[in-house]
Amino acid sequence: MMRTSGKPTRERIVDAASKLFYGEGIRAVSVDAVAEKSGLTKRTLYYHFQSKDELIAAYLDGRDQPNLALFQRWFSEAEGGIDQKIRAIFQNLAEAARHPRWKGCGYLRTAAELADMPGHPAIKTGIAHKKRVEVWLASAFAAEGVRSPELLARQIILLLDGCFAVVLLNRDASYMETAGEAAATLVKSALAQTGRENR
């Protein structure tokens, strides 16, 4: 083992790949660039990963858990009824999107870049991630007694990915706040159908 830094080599490669792939796009970043950024040779990179595709999949795998955890934190730390907690997710997202290095959702951008390879492992990872967010949302809505929590979760996901896409295009983060209002409206509308009031 010739590592000088504390992090294991594989992790260093994935870190470098994440920054580059997210920042510039998958097809725009060469394997050479990832190797250079991680301070290793390309030969070493190919010792740890069989192909660029495998590296892409590893990049997205590494974002799954942290991303979901962030949403859950924003949700649980927010005050007010569930409609306000959902809205808080969008507000936090708007703040993040105003950072100059923000470049949309890595999963959606990867799906866009690999639109002609629907079976690519990275796409499957993306589908699984979005599904996890959706299932978590549905369970939160079910706990509030919403009649069709799965349906409402899908609607929120659509607004979530919608604001990712729109803001990536026009760089106007206020659309995220608009999406948050729409989400709150949908939640309240679903709650009204249960016969109870939101706080």
Q: Report the interface residues with a second copy, using CB under 8 A.
A: 23-25, 27-28, 103-104, 107-109, 111-116, 118, 123, 126-127, 130-131, 151, 154-155, 157-166, 168-171, 175, 178-179, 181-182, 185-186, 189
Closer to a second copy by Cβ: residue 42 or 188: 188
* Residue 198 near DNA by CB under 7 A: no
State the nearest-atom distance from the C-beta of 30 to a second copy, in Å: 12
Mutual angle of helices 121-143 and 149-170, in 10-degree steps = 130
Decide if residue 47 touches DNA (CB under 7 A): yes
Q: What angle do CA 71, 75, 76 make, to 5 degrees?
A: 120
Using CA atoms, how far residue 6 sits from 3, 48, 57, in Å, is: 7, 17, 24
Looking at 15-23, 27-35, 84-92, 111-119, which segment touches DNA (CB under 7 A)? Answer: 27-35
> How many residues belong to the site for DNA (CB under 7 A)?
21
Complex with a second copy: residue 11 or 102, whichever CB lies closer: 102
Q: Which is nearer to a second copy, 28 or 69 (CB)?
A: 28
* Distance (Å, whole) CA 86 – CA 61: 25
Binds 53, which of DNA, a second copy, none (CB < 5 to 8 A, cut-off by type)? DNA
Minimum CB separation from a second copy for residue 36, in Å? 17
**Does position 48 bind DNA by CB under 7 A?**
yes
Minimum CB–partner distance for residue 7 and a second copy (Å): 26
Residues 111-146 as b/e (b if ≥16 CB within 10 A, e otherwise) read bebbeeeeebbbbebbeebbeebbeebbebbeebeb
The string over 42-73, giving b where at least 16 C-beta atoms fall within 10 Å of a residue's C-beta and e elsewhere, is eeebeebbeebeebbbbbbebbbeebeeebee
Helix, strand, coil shares of the chain, percent, nearest 5, are 75, 0, 25
Q: Which CB atom, from 142 or from 157, has the smaller least distance to a second copy?
A: 157
Residue 4: which of 31, 43, 40 has the closest Cα? Answer: 40
Q: Please tell me whether residue 42 binds DNA under the rule CB under 7 A.
A: yes
Residues that bind DNA (CB under 7 A): 1-3, 9, 29-33, 39-44, 46-48, 51-53
